[in-house]
């Protein structure tokens, strides 16, 4: 028997999963909630953009969860022995960079900076660098449009250089004390393997490629001259960023004796290069060519791979196209919807239609499921939190059309679900317009497991089978898959991601296939959605959508007749 460990660093907690490399059976799991700040996040009541984390929580988390998971594994299977753990994989949130000193120690762990949140890890959802993001976008548009072409045309405030440049401006003391900045996903595997000295540390492909404009086409990270135009000090930082990055099939290093003792594992087992949670979640969900993996939560992350031998064009509006960022040997393509579950939560929690009982997700879904497509005469845009893909415009807002004096909360709820389905189809269509085929969709995340109506609507709207990833812990499972690959077949693991996924990943028995009659109505509705999408989303779109209200009523009348 051989097992690997998947470590999944989320926004509020870290999870350890022990997985059988032959079957994917999940032997044991343990969770540790970060202890610093509120739900693990250092906040600032005077600046709602600020969100930081304590790197010490990351270290405490790995020790606590691995120890607990090992104990549970022994309870579950008396034959289990920690020596059967042959490899480790790690996924984290991102872009979550942290400043480190010349020895690789996070500044926040030094006495001098222990109370300074600017010296902590800058969590993915920290938006303090929004002005710097705009500045980087503007400069790149003028001087290096190719930098933006691979990340959807706009450099985000959530990303690596926006955060670093903001630190440079807002707290030069911290910036100056930092030798370099590393991603959480770079740092954690490096610590476990004693390679965290900046001279040794390997940087992971997916963070660099998706969040830091790294691309082999232009020699890796943006050049020093470009960064110096933003600030001379940022130009100097470029020398500390390596010219090479590594995908998850690469060994970050081998577990040190000290960490092996702390965790109760064998020293020397390989630890895979880290990657973002969504990307290893895609691996754990069984991503492969032609299969889009959709992680549905408050927002979605939509991931696709395309052979890296192909002459893949830049795809306008797609957040990132990075060689090897999801699966080695493939371009990883990332898209997403800025709000999905958040829109339903807004309606249920903020608007509270019908009050807390009548307006619960379950009650609304039950009533909404009784409606036929097109029957309400309603249509919505899913832009309450902007549009990440394909318009890349965070300032877009929601829209609901078709209300009468008889419109019910359940009808609106269904229209909001349908809007997110139309948004999903728009992303799929964009991929296909640029030659990336999407045959099926594997979904993961709680909503996909809990809401059968939503899944059926997604199947009907997209015209594609909706599968559900077997594991409820797809990210941690993906990390365990990476651990199995770096361990290799000889050690009880696998020699390729394809082999590892075939053995360890899978879909649930329940699946949702398009229903032809519904598809037909949704095809009509999607035309109207696209019309509103273009009329409100594209500055240069001409025709006014005067037909939309009447067309919706005609569809409604036809459905009801």
Beta carbon nearer to a copy of itself, 401 or 472: 401
Q: How far is the CB of 432 from a copy of itself (least distance, A)?
A: 25
* Residue 334 CB coordination number (10 Å): 26
Examine residue 46 and tell whether it contacts a copy of itself (CB under 8 A): no
Examine residue 488 and tell whether it contacts a copy of itself (CB under 8 A): no
Give backbone dihedrals phi and psi of 540, rounded to 5 degrees, phi first: -105, 25
Q: How far is the CB of 335 from a copy of itself (least distance, A)?
A: 20
Examine residue 329 and tell whether it contacts a copy of itself (CB under 8 A): no
- Cβ atoms of 210 and 276 within 8 Å: the answer is yes
Examine residue 524 and tell whether it contacts a copy of itself (CB under 8 A): no
- At residue 331, the 3 state secondary structure works out as strand
| Residues 437-440: contacts with CB under 8 Å, at least 24 apart | 437/289, 437/290, 438/290, 438/291, 438/292, 438/304, 438/464, 439/290, 439/291, 439/464, 440/290, 440/291, 440/292, 440/464, 440/465, 440/466, 440/467
Examine residue 404 and tell whether it contacts a copy of itself (CB under 8 A): yes
Beta carbon nearer to a copy of itself, 148 or 548: 548
Contacts of residue 518, defined as CB under 8 A and 6 or more positions apart, other chains included, come to 373, 456, 460
Closest by Cα among 246, 267, 230 to 82: 267
C-alpha–C-alpha distance, residues 165 and 231, integer Å: 8
Q: How far is the CB of 347 from a copy of itself (least distance, A)?
A: 9
Cα-Cα-Cα-Cα torsion 6, 9, 10, 13, nearest 10 degrees, comes to: 100
Q: How far is the CB of 394 from a copy of itself (least distance, A)?
A: 10
Q: How far is the CB of 39 from a copy of itself (least distance, A)?
A: 19
Span of 51-59, 257-265, 365-373, 393-401 interacting with a copy of itself by CB under 8 A: 393-401
Beta carbon nearer to a copy of itself, 344 or 458: 344
Examine residue 399 and tell whether it contacts a copy of itself (CB under 8 A): yes
Q: Per-residue x/- mask for a copy of itself, residues 418 to 437, rule CB under 8 A?
A: --------------------
Closest by Cα among 222, 76, 203, 211 to 146: 222
Q: How far is the CB of 342 from a copy of itself (least distance, A)?
A: 5
Examine residue 541 and tell whether it contacts a copy of itself (CB under 8 A): yes
Beta carbon nearer to a copy of itself, 218 or 346: 346
Residues in the chain: 561
* Residue 124 CB coordination number (10 Å): 23
Q: How far is the CB of 521 from a copy of itself (least distance, A)?
A: 18
- At residue 183, the 3 state secondary structure works out as strand
Span of 199-207, 232-240, 315-323, 354-362 interacting with a copy of itself by CB under 8 A: 354-362
CA atoms within 13 A of residue 92's CA, in its CB half-sphere:
31
Check whether the bond before 390 is cis (ω within 30° of 0): yes
Examine residue 38 and tell whether it contacts a copy of itself (CB under 8 A): no
Examine residue 358 and tell whether it contacts a copy of itself (CB under 8 A): yes
Examine residue 408 and tell whether it contacts a copy of itself (CB under 8 A): yes
Beta carbon nearer to a copy of itself, 98 or 532: 532
Q: Which of 278, 304, 396, 438 binds a copy of itself (CB under 8 A)?
A: 396
Q: Which two tokens stand for residue 115?
A: 């109370």
Q: Which of 120, 263, 343, 505 binds a copy of itself (CB under 8 A)?
A: 343
C-alpha–C-alpha distance, residues 493 and 506, integer Å: 17
Q: Per-residue x/- mask for a copy of itself, residues 359 to 388, rule CB under 8 A?
A: x-----------------x-----xxx---
Examine residue 544 and tell whether it contacts a copy of itself (CB under 8 A): yes
Q: Which of 69, 412, 453, 505 binds a copy of itself (CB under 8 A)?
A: 412
Closest by Cα among 233, 194, 220, 207 to 122: 207
- Cβ atoms of 338 and 386 within 8 Å: the answer is yes
Total of residues contacting a copy of itself (CB under 8 A)? 53
Q: Which residues bind a copy of itself (CB under 8 A)?
A: 339, 342-343, 345-346, 350-356, 358-359, 377, 383-385, 395-409, 412, 534-550, 552-553
């Amino acid at each position: 028997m051989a097992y690997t460990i998947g470590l999944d660093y989320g926004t509020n907690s870290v999870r350890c999963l022990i997985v059988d490399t032959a079957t994917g059976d999940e032997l044991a799991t343990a969770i540790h909630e970060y202890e610093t700040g509120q739900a693990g996040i250092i906040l600032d009541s005077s600046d709602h953009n600020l969100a930081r984390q304590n790197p010490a929580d990351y270290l405490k988390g790995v020790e606590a969860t691995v120890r607990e998971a090992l104990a549970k594994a022994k309870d579950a299977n008396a034959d289990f022995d920690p020596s059967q753990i042959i490899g480790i994989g790690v996924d984290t949130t991102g872009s979550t960079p942290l400043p480190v000193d010349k020895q690789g120690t996070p500044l926040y762990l030094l006495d001098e900076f222990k109370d300074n949140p600017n010296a902590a890890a800058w969590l993915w959802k920290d938006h303090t660098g929004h002005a710097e993001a705009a500045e980087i976008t503007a400069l790149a548009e003028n001087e290096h449009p190719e930098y933006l072409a691979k990340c959807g045309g706009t450099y985000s405030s959530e990303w690596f250089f926006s955060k670093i440049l903001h630190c440079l401006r807002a707290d030069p003391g911290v910036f100056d004390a930092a030798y370099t900045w590393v991603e959480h996903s770079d740092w954690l595997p490096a610590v476990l393997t004693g390679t965290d000295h900046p001279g040794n540390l390997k940087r992971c492909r997916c963070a660099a490629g998706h969040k830091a404009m790294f691309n082999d086409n232009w020699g890796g990270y943006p050049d020093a001259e470009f960064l110096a135009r933003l600030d001379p000090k940022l130009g100097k930082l470029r020398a500390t960023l390596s010219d090479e990055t590594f995908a998850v099939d690469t060994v970050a290093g081998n577990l040190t004796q000290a960490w092996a003792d702390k965790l109760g594992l064998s020293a020397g087992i390989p630890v895979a290069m880290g990657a973002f949670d969504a990307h290893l979640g895609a691996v754990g969900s069984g991503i492969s060519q032609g299969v889009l993996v959709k992680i549905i939560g408050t927002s979605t992350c939509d991931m696709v791979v395309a052979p890296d031998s192909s002459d893949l064009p830049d795809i306008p509006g797609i957040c990132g196209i990075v060689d090897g960022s999801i699966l080695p040997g493939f371009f990883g393509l990332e898209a997403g919807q800025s709000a999905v579950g958040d829109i339903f939560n807004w309606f249920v929690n903020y608007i509270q239609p019908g009050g807390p009982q009548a307006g619960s997700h379950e009650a609304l879904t039950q009533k909404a499921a009784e409606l036929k497509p097109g029957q309400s005469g309603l249509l919505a845009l899913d832009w309450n939190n902007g549009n990440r893909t394909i318009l890349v415009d965070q300032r877009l807002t929601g829209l609901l059309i078709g209300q009468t004096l008889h419109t019910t909360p359940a009808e609106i709820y269904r229209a909001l679900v349908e809007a997110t389905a139309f948004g999903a189809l728009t992303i799929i269509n964009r991929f296909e317009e640029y030659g990336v085929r999407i045959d099926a969709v594997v979904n993961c995340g709680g909503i996909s497991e809990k809401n059968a109506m939503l899944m059926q609507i997604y199947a009907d709207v997209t015209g594609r089978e909706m599968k559900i990833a077997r594991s409820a812990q797809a990210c941690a499972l993906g990390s365990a898959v990476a651990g199995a690959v770096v361990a290799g077949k000889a050690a009880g693991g696998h020699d390729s991601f394809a082999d590892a996924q075939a053995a360890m990943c899978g879909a649930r028995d329940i699946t949702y296939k398009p229903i032809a009659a519904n598809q037909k109505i949704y095809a009509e509705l999607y035309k109207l959605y696209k019309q509103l999408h273009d009329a409100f989303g594209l500055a240069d779109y001409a025709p006014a959508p005067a037909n939309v209200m009447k067309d919706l009523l005609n569809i409604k009348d036809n459905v009801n007749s």
